[in-house]
Amino acid sequence: MGATNFSNPDFLERVKKGDRAALPLLVEAVLPQLLRAGRGMGFSQEESEDLAHSVFAAFLEKPEQFQGRSHIRTYLFGIFYNLVAERYREKSKALEHDPIDEVMESKFDAHGSWRQPPADIEGQLHAKEIGQIIQECLKGLSQPQRVAFYLREHEEWETPEICKKLGITVTNLGVLLFRARNRLRECVEKKGLKKG
């Protein structure tokens, strides 16, 4: 399976012609990555599989649209991000109230100095269980926050790219990232304090 060269013109020709025998190879290679990205952005396993299905279905509908100029994985991820953006464009546009804003405000005095300075969480961040802690804490984020945070930190997209894709302003992206990061930081801090 690893031997399949997806850039091979013959293989791409088969895929483009809608050769169903080529499909399992392609699915096997790209599906785990799509699912991981979906889950990373806060979709459930089921929702992620739905999204992945839509990606391949859209691709199979018009395989000739794939020109072979980019890697097929990149092309499929392009469809994937469009679907994600479509689903969350409206949601991330309207910024709902988030109590984390008040939590952050309460940390500073009237002069804007730390009243409640950040606790030392370096220990937690380097602990073996940090993966588990983060997965747990990520659940406390809203979906738009997770999508924005994932694209920024995991995919390392730049601000204009994310804004364009999600159809949001730089200010709104800033709000999403501010809330996502502080929610996570607070959650990690709390989990550390509980352990003592």
Partner 1 sequence: MLNCSQVARSIASDEYRTGGLLYRMSIRLHLAMCRQCSRYFRQIRALGSVLREVGDEFPISQALAARDRLLARLSRKP
CB of 99 vs partner 1, minimal distance in Å: 16
- The answer for residues whose C-beta is within 8 angstroms of residue 4's C-beta and 6 or more apart is 11, 25, 29
- CA gap 142, 176 in Å, rounded: 9
- What is the torsional sign of CA 11, 12, 14, 19? positive
**What's the closest the beta carbon of residue 190 comes to partner 1, in angstroms?**
14
CA angle 179, 185, 188 (to 5 degrees): 135
- Reading the block at residue 95, the tokens are 């910024």
Closer residue to partner 1 in complex, CB, 54/82: 54
Task: Tell me whether residue 34 or residue 85 sits nearer to partner 1 (CB atom).
Answer: 34
Give the rounded distance of the alpha carbon of 125 from its chain centre: 21
Give least dist CB 108 to partner 1, A.
4
Nearer to partner 1, 60 or 193 (CB): 60
Contact residues for partner 1, defined by CB under 8 A: 20, 23-24, 27-28, 31-32, 35-36, 39-40, 45, 49, 52-53, 56-57, 60, 104, 107-108, 111-114, 117-118, 120-122, 125, 130-131, 134-135, 149-150, 152-154, 156, 159, 170, 173-175, 177-178, 181-182, 184-185, 188
